[in-house]
Structure 1
Amino acid sequence: MPYNLPTWESMKPHSIILSTLISGPKSPGNDIDVYLQPLLVELKYLWRNGISTYDACNKEMFQMRAALLWTISDFPGLGSLSGWNTYAKNACPTCDDKTDALYLKHGKKWSFRRHRRFLPSDSKISTMASYGKQEQRELDLKPLSGSDVLSMTQYKNVVYGKSNASKPASRVRTGSVEQMWRKRSIFFSLPYWEFNLIRHNLDPIHIEKNVCDNILGTILDDLTKSKDNASARRDLKILGIMRQLWPQIQPDDKEYLPAACYCMNKEEKKIFCSVLKDICVRDGMSSDILKCVDVGRCRIMGLKSHDCHVIMEQFLPIVLRRVLSRKVIAPLMFHVNILGQRVRSHCEKMNCRRLKKGLYWLYASWKEFFHHLFPSNGAFGGAFGVRGKSSWACTLSVDVSNRNIYRET
């Protein structure tokens, strides 16, 4: 898909090149390498030999060569393509073994913490009493180079198929190289892949949809989508934080969950859904969102990725003004601004650094109100997307005709 074309043009059938077709309703996991092997054969041929192509501008034939610069996927897809284990403690491929994560006993998932350690040392938010102990400021972590990744994964033995032959016979230690990497990426068979500074990218639209679903499900108290449930409250009690949200035992031995500052009553939920349902937009801005809003049951269902982007950037600031307090709306609105810039921004170092600083502040401030959203990899992946782009922007020069890659200082 040519990303340098406008959105309404790049999504049309004639602009999409179907390179690989994977069958089945479930993700293939490590077996995706089997489907990618024919594509890799063609990429190697295009790099070494090229193909005769007609130049319509000069009206002559030339030998065209091509190179694969990077992949774009969601967070689970990044694990399948790169070989990194995105489901364990060290889920962030940039933080590596310095990722600070805690397994939640009741939630049965990993919670990623210490987002304030990336804030400036003079930031007031790093010393707020409501956040608990102060976290030490750490230097920016450098991502692993292609040579480092290749040396760590070159002896990984993966047996494709649904058998358990590739699984280790004994339990591997958490945080070890064997646990962090599941396989050696098939893209390292390309002669230039080791020297690419950017190898895998996260799609911000996927991240934005995950965050949007979490926010809407939590503030509407959706039983199937809300992150604020009994398990999350019990984990807060074990962690010893946010005492006002701990479960309380009633005289009849039933568990009562106190209302949070972002909770809405029945009337406020209907106002929220009614305003969202009555918003009219011009053609092409989004799909028919009103069909996804159920005012009677106060539920929002069936939103597409672009619908979530429009809601987060355009509609959410409008519909929340009458139903939530200012202290809750402030970090939400800041998040809307940051994600909107993240999707629209160009590859400029100064802009990416500003977004990176904003995301760190956002994640640190959100923990005061929306601590339940942070066990999700979807919310955690936003920082990796900006940090990776900031570290690698404008540092790669490719000479496809001579099959060389240069690193600019």
Structure 2
Amino acid sequence: MHGEDSNVTMPKISKNTRVKKDTLQPQNLMETMINDACGFTGNNVNDTDMSSESINRNEIFNEEHIERHNEDYAKFYEMIEDGKQPLYEGCTKYSKLSVLIKLYHIKCLCRMTNKAMSVILDLLKDAFEDVKIPVSFYEAKKTINKLGLNYTKIHACPNDCILYFGEDNEGLQECKKCKTSRWKDNKKKQPAKILRYFPLKRRLQRLFMCSKTVESIRWHSLEGNQDGLMRHPRDSQAWKTFGLLHPEFATDPRNVRLVLASDGFNPFGAMSTNYRKQMPGNDIDVYLQPLIQELRELWYDGVQTLDSSKNEIFKMRAALMWTISDFPGLDIMHIEKNVCENVIYTLLNDSGKSKDNSKARKDLREMGIRKELWEDENGNYCPSLFTILNTKKNGFMKNVFLRTLKNVKMPDGYASNKMY
């Protein structure tokens, strides 16, 4: 905890100092949704002015882009128009797109059928004549699909033995290991189990559709490390060693380094849902096969990708560098939660919950080390180097940190409530 540079001079703070809860402005959720899905940043979908700072049609549809990626850009522009279109004349709270996404979210949470959603949409259209929503779920889904969050359905053995995937298994009618039928209803050809896989390549390609996002992707090679401290994975020994071992990969800063996190993964919906006996367990590798295939292709072959910042096509490659896995028999989830909370409270110098407190400073005195961090006769002490202050000199970093934490978006059930 106290590994900071001992030569740094910091202003003293009182042990009674408390973290001020800053007022943070909420972001436009539909803007964030479109930006996250399409890789565009800093553009308000509700702005009527689509020029200069925001994306404009001339920027999107230049001749070269039309030839190479016309379909993706056309869908994005249509989605921007849906996001700008108010739900009804004079409505400022909801757009056509925001209502459809919220309704789709409710459908997923409540496990409603497509027919039920169509009935609701038809009722809303009939009750409110001026409302700008489709009359059926089929039409609504065509709009939502422009977000590019489609998935591929892959049939699976109900006992988690195999996926009906790839040349060897795709045409099988029963599991080659347990001999269980592929079908729940053989006459109607209803599969017994389905994996819904979200392809990786298209999502990585979308990151390069906006020049501003590309700048963020290349940041690790453009911004030097001035003080030698590790603030980003690029500062780690693993990153540097990988670059030395694979110089052809490291040469192009647009190549992507990935981390695979499966810790806390629940295949059955929200985290409050009880685990079932049919959960994959040790057979989780079966369900990783489509991802592994894509990772192999991204590493060995790459994928042709449009870099909008340079207006050129390049071969994007990706490498899996880290994994975060679950450990059976350990309460890792709660351990991680406690560690994360302690780290955040310490960074924010919360007087009641920070681990860098008066007791810790007295321990340093008893051990006879780090004199510059000891309390003075009034019980005051210098803040540690890692303490996030909120001063004009440091650019109000506490505000920036809290705003970033507030705006983190997680899937339902993936994380607990964030601290403010």
TM-score (norm 1): 0.22
Larger Rg: 2
**Higher-helix-fraction structure:** 1
